[in-house]
């Protein structure tokens, strides 16, 4: 079921990296955060507990795969996983590689920036994303 006016029902929410029949993994364009991904459930569901057990397992498996790929390819200081949905009540997770030099670190990505973005370091991270995304496409592509 789609809900008219829901931004995650109406559009992809970012650049689609890989998509399964019930979910999509997108790269979000967030200033100062070059490795910001979202796992979006295709159907308009508000809460994780509303999914069938097999679907919950699928989501967790995808989140683990994305986190591991971020760790392998980018060596971040931390990977943040979050599902809020207060502003957009459509089930989705934020999977974000965090670096001590990012504008918001150690605060939440939604907190006020603590420093200017380091353009050189962000470009270095961005340059590694194609290989990371190739791995994700190969490992998560539905059969």
Question: What is the tens place of the pLDDT at every residue in 130-140?
Answer: 999 999 999 99
Gap between the Cα atoms of 127 and 143, Å rounded? 28
The model's pTM is 0.94
Q: Strand, helix or coil at 117?
A: coil
Topology of domain 7-140 in CATH is HIT family, subunit A (3.30.428)
pLDDT given at position 143: 66
The domains of the chain are located at 7-140
Phi then psi for residue 25, to 5 deg, are: -110, 125
Q: Which residues contact 99 (CB under 8 A, 6 or more apart)?
A: 76, 77, 105, 121, 125
pLDDT in tens, 90-115: 999 999 999 999 999 999 999 999 99
Structure tokens at 65: 């795969």
Burial of 30 from C-beta contacts in 10 A (0-12 / 13-18 / 19+): middle
Split at pLDDT 50, 70, 90, the class of 86 is confident
């Amino acid at each position: 079921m789609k809900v008219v006016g829901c931004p995650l029902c109406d559009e992809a929410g970012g650049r689609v990296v890989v998509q399964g029949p019930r979910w999509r993994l997108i790269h979000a364009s967030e200033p100062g955060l070059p490795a910001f991904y979202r796992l979006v459930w295709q159907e308009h569901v508000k809460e994780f507990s509303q999914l069938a057990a097999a679907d919950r397992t699928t989501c967790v498996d995808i989140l683990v795969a994305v986190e591991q790929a971020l760790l392998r390819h980018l060596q971040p200081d931390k990977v943040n996983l979050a599902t809020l949905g207060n502003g957009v009540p459509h089930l989705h997770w934020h999977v974000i590689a965090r670096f001590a030099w990012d504008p918001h670190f150690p605060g939440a990505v939604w907190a006020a920036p603590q420093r200017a973005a380091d353009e050189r370091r962000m470009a270095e991270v961005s340059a590694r994303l194609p290989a990371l995304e190739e791995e994700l496409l190969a490992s998560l592509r539905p059969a």
